[in-house]
Amino acid sequence: MDASSSAYQIMSYFLLDYELGRSTNLLKDKVIRDLYKDILYDIKPHLYKTLGESLYEIVEPHLTRKLMKKIYMPIVYGKTHFSAINDVEQALEYSISRSDASKVAGAL
């Protein structure tokens, strides 16, 4: 893994968060984990419940590791909700309204 989750490794250390430590490969595990794939896997059921079936069906094919990394990596450094909305709009190629993009970004 690259250093993209190093801030989350530091957070897991100071917060004594065992699961986050495993997810960021700070603690040894049998496999090398990918924090952003784990986030993507864990967030899909939440998004389905939050967005509703019709919006989720539009959004789901565009949910990628790249989008998760683009949104979650800079959060610890102060990424804004407005910036996350722009990331969602760009990932979905501006195929949904700004208010729906805001709803998706808020749910992420």
Q: pTM for the full model? A: 0.71
Using CA atoms, how far residue 33 sits from 3, 21, 36, in Å, is 13, 10, 9
Using CA atoms, how far residue 46 sits from 4, 8, 26, 70, in Å, is 24, 21, 26, 19
Domain ranges of the chain: 1-33, 35-108
CB 72, CB 36: distance < 8 Å:
yes
- Per-position pLDDT tens, the chain of length 108: 455 577 778 888 888 888 888 887 787 778 877 888 888 898 999 999 999 899 999 989 999 898 888 888 777 777 888 898 888 898 888 888 898 888 888 888
Count of residues making up the chain: 108
CB 44, CB 60: distance < 8 Å:
yes
